[in-house]
Amino acid sequence: MYQAILDHIRKYVVLTQEEEELLCQNLEYKKHPKKEFLLEAGKICNRKLNEQIIHFAIENWWIADQDSLMTGQPSACTIQAIEETEVLLLPEKNKADLFRQVPVLETYFALIMRKAFVAAQRRLGYIFNMTDEERFRHFSSLFPEFMQRVPQYMLASYLGFTPQFMSRLRAKKN
Amino acid sequence: MYQAILDHIRKYVVLTQEEEELLCQNLEYKKHPKKEFLLEAGKICNRKLNEQIIHFAIENWWIADQDSLMTGQPSACTIQAIEETEVLLLPEKNKADLFRQVPVLETYFALIMRKAFVAAQRRLGYIFNMTDEERFRHFSSLFPEFMQRVPQYMLASYLGFTPQFMSRLRAKKN
């Protein structure tokens, strides 16, 4: 697990062995059974809203409610394990000190945030410029294995479809 | 102009006078008349696509095609001045050296990128969870002056409406 994150970070920046150890000391290893909540939405909202899938996170991905971390407000989001999941958590409170000791990690996280921003912008572009069916085909072509891995109703929600509409698209494809 | 950017950056991080000077030396001042292009889309795409407004940038905002900067591919976007505009450009090629000399600027840009990512995520949330009319009312309540400042057909495109639909919403409001 620690090896996997170091391999991943090495794709972007160079860390000394001492810096790698500092990073690992600041990470918390957690294991979550399927369906367990990693983050539960704050109790601000009393209404039972429709569940909307905003993101998936697979191997080597970071996931967090950046909105809540940035504003300090309780999260309106829930993060749930849809498979048995191992995570390495970098607590927000550790970041400032860690970045001071290992500045290159700030460079790494800035790159990751830039990638996430570009992905969000692309997704907005797909929503505005593609039909629902084009968006489905595009996503299927980019992530064929992932399409098989997650519950279909979650994928439908992520893409902004009803499960019924997605079933029809899948049927057309086969 | 330089004073404005320094005042803005001081809201997020502390720079010494020497660091402020290093930053200013790396910025290029440009003035663009109304309608001039700051960035023109690459010639990859032969089709004349419908214009889709992705972003506006007002005072103290950074704007760039991060996708193109990140991937090194020609931009698919155009940036155009809709008013007479003064900009300070930080050339991508200057960034690595500047961040090495003034590491706190990397912290600043990471914060700005995080804010941009959160804004993009919120926008995705509005698209999925609000009706077109709710989205219009929400945007109007957040940015009433901005609504008066930009051409209405651009605002309609940004919000994902036809100009006709937006005219009807505005008429309802008044």
Q: What are phi and psi of A27, to 5 degrees?
A: -95, 145
Residue labelled with tokens 């309609």:
B156
E strand map for chain B? 28-32, 37-39, 79-80, 85-89
What is the pLDDT at residue B15?
97
Query: Are B160 and A106 in contact (CB < 8 Å)?
Result: no
- The verdict on a CB contact (< 8 Å) between B113 and A109 is no
Q: Chain A within 8 Å of B70 (Cβ-Cβ)?
A: yes
Q: How do residues B104-159 score in pLDDT, each as one tens digit?
A: 999 999 999 999 999 999 999 898 888 999 999 999 999 999 999 999 999 999 99
Look at residues A61, A27, A41, A51 and name the one whose alpha carbon lies nearest to residue A143: A61
Report the chain B residue with the minimal C-alpha distance to residue A108. Answer: B110
Nearest CA-CA distance, residue B46 and chain A, Å: 16
CA distance between the termini of chain B: 37
**Alpha-carbon gap, residue A4 to B90, rounded angstroms:** 35
When pLDDT is averaged across residues B159-165 and rounded to a whole number, the result is 88
| Residue A89 DSSP class | E
State residue A42's pLDDT score: 65
A113/B114 CB distance under 8 A: yes
Q: Please work out, in degrees rounded to the nearest 5, the angle formed at the alpha carbon of residue B73 by the alpha carbons of B52 and B42.
A: 50
User: Is residue B121 less than 8 Å (CB to CB) from chain A?
Assistant: yes
Q: Is the predicted ipTM greater than 0.85, yes or no?
A: yes
Residues in chain A: 174
Residue A166 · residue A155 · CB < 8 Å = yes
Q: Rounded CA gap, B98 and B106, in Å? A: 9
Token couple for B70: 């990140």
Amino acid at B27: L
pLDDT digits (tens, 9 = 90+) for A44-103: 444 555 678 989 999 999 999 999 999 989 888 899 999 999 999 999 999 999 999 999
Judge whether B96 is closer than 8 Å to chain A, CB to CB. no
Q: Which pTM was predicted?
A: 0.89
Chain B CB contacts of A114 below 8 Å: 66, 70, 113
Q: Which residues contact B44 (CB under 8 A, 6 or more apart)?
A: B74, B76
pLDDT of residue B173: 61
The closest CB to that of B106, out of A106, A128, A160, belongs to A106
Match 């996931």 to its residue by tokens: A63
Residue of A157, A70, A72 whose CA lies nearest to A113: A70
- Residues contacting residue A166 through CB under 8 Å, at least 6 positions apart: A136, A152, A155, A156, A159
A1 touches chain B (CB under 8 A): no
∠ CA B44-B49-B50, nearest 5°, is 150
Give the per-residue pLDDT at A172: 81
Separation of alpha carbons A42 and A46, rounded Å: 10
How near does any CA of chain A get to the CA of B117, in Å?
5
Query: CA B130 to CA B169: how far, in whole Å?
Result: 15
Distance (Å, rounded) from C-alpha A129 to C-alpha A124? Answer: 9
Residue A35 has pLDDT above 90, yes or no: yes
Tell me if A116 and B117 make a contact (CB, 8 A cut-off). yes
Best mutation site among B121, B123, B154 for testing chain A: the one with the most A CBs within 10 Å?
Answer: B121
Beta bridge partners of B86: B31
User: A108 with A19: CB under 8 angstroms?
Assistant: no
Contact B121 A49 (CB under 8 A): no
**In a mutagenesis test of the B interface, which of A45, A67, A130, A131 is the best target, namely the one with the most B β-carbons within 10 Å?**
A67
Within 8 A of A129 by CB-CB distance, chain B residues are 49-50, 52
pLDDT-derived band at B169, boundaries 50, 70, 90: confident
Of the listed ranges A72-76, B31-35, B61-65, the least confidently predicted one is A72-76
**What is the enclosing helix (H) or strand (E) of A38?**
strand A37-39
Any CB–CB contact under 8 A between A120 and chain B?
A: yes
CA-wise closest residue to B57 among B166, B159, B146, B160: B146
Phi, psi (5° rounding) for residue B88? Answer: -110, 120
Instruction: Say yes or no for a CB contact (<8 Å) between A117 and B116.
Output: yes
